[in-house]
Amino acid sequence: MTLAFGGLVVANGINFSLEQGERLAVIGQNGAGKTTFINICSGLLKPRKGRVIFAGRDITAQSPRKIVRQGMARSFQLPQLFLEHTVRECLQLSAVARAESLSSWSSLAGGSNAVEIDRMLDLISLRDRQHELCINLPEGQRKLLDVGMSLLLQPKLLILDEPTSGVSTEEKHGVMEILMRALDDQKVTAIFVEHDVDIVKRYATRVAAWISGAIAADGSPASVLSNPLIQREVLGE
């Protein structure tokens, strides 16, 4: 696939496939094309050339809403929460959105599956904060709730844009442990954009490194992170 803004090429001849069950980390310097890549995959941008095939279907021209219905969900660098609502209410909103059962005449709680919500609260370790307003949550728990809302859409693939961004150093590994357990439980394949090399080493099964809108290296974390070009141009070593 190829995409350019004026004279700036942000996706340059990307030919890429992902296997079920992989945990792909996407790395690269700012402006390398990482976010452009996941925006193309999730329908926020359309490539000038090429196609996006998901689960055997061409989704290149589909809207983000339709792509979600096909089984691909997305969480953003800044968690997309309803801050004036409680943790449980946010999960209920996601559940009824999936079922398309919410209307001005229906109850939010009545339109969702209480058992399903309880199970997700346990998966993301927020059961004890389920009645807390989202605005009061620390950043790590906001990230987990955002992922929980995405998982309630029952995706086959979840794209995470910098899941540890804004999370304190002390919280990062704890957040990722909970997140990965939830993905394993739901049997969801994942792509995550990440800058923290320790997080990439520990949680990725595969790494793709971006330089100037193209994939410069793709393989196991050990092979990509030891590549002299990636060490110099991406990791700054």
Q: 169-186 and 114-123 are packed helices; what angle lies between their axes, rounded to 10 degrees?
A: 140
In a domain, 189, yes or no: yes
Greater confidence, 201 or 17? 201
In a domain, 104, yes or no: no
| Model pLDDT, residue 107 | 54
In a domain, 181, yes or no: yes
CA distance 26 to 208: 5
pLDDT, tens digit (0-9, with 9 covering 90-100), for 74-115: 888 888 888 899 999 999 988 888 776 555 445 555 555 889
CATH number at residue 157: 3.40.50.300
CA distance 201 to 204: 6
Indicate the residue type of 10. Answer: V
Domain containing 194 equals 3-80+148-233
In a domain, 130, yes or no: no
In a domain, 123, yes or no: no
Determine if the pTM surpasses 0.85: yes
| Model pLDDT, residue 109 | 56
**What total number of domains does the chain contain?**
1
CA distance 140 to 179: 11
Token output for 119: 């199970």
CA distance 207 to 215: 10
Q: Kindly tell me if the per-residue pLDDT of 150 is higher than 80.
A: yes
Cβ atoms 58, 52 nearer than 8 A: yes
In a domain, 205, yes or no: yes
Greater confidence, 142 or 40? 142
Q: Collect all residues with Cβ–Cβ distance below 8 Å to 55 and sequence separation of at least 6.
A: 70, 71, 156
Question: Which range has the worst mean pLDDT, 31-40, 43-52, 68-77, 93-102?
Answer: 93-102
In a domain, 58, yes or no: yes
Q: Kindly tell me if the per-residue pLDDT of 157 is higher than 60.
A: yes
In a domain, 100, yes or no: no
